[in-house]
Amino acid sequence: MGTINKGVAAADADQRRIREYAYQLWELRGRRMGEELRNWLDAESELLHAATAAASRRALSDVDASLDATFPASDPPASHSPDVPPANAGKKWAAVRDAEEFTSQSEENDT
């Protein structure tokens, strides 16, 4: 069976499902005449929504499965020990203090 024939067969199957569901809606809604288009469009919309939701669930499942191989992550967990300041931290803080003192002295001299 060619690709075109498969597409036609799938479209025929979709049309059949919509027709059957529209008929069920017509029966559930009291078999009112003149509601054919509404029943058809509602059936088409609900079936499309269901198919889209199913495809989304499959896609998420595929992503979840592909991520399973990546765990555990290669990075080790955090040690939760306190951070150790760098060796030159004292010099940097002293430079900041000196700069603040210089700035405050300059401001005093300007006034």
| HEC string for 27-53 | HHCCCCCCCHHHHHHHHHHHHHHHHHH
Query: Phi and psi for 44 in degrees, rounded to 5?
Result: -60, -45
**Average per-residue pLDDT for the chain:** 83
pLDDT tens profile 44-89: 999 999 988 888 888 888 777 777 666 666 666 677 777 788 888 8
> Model pTM greater than 0.75?
no
Is residue 83 in a domain?
no
Q: Is residue 104 part of a domain?
A: no
Per the structure, the count of domains in the chain is: 1
In terms of residue numbers, what domain contains 12? Answer: 3-68
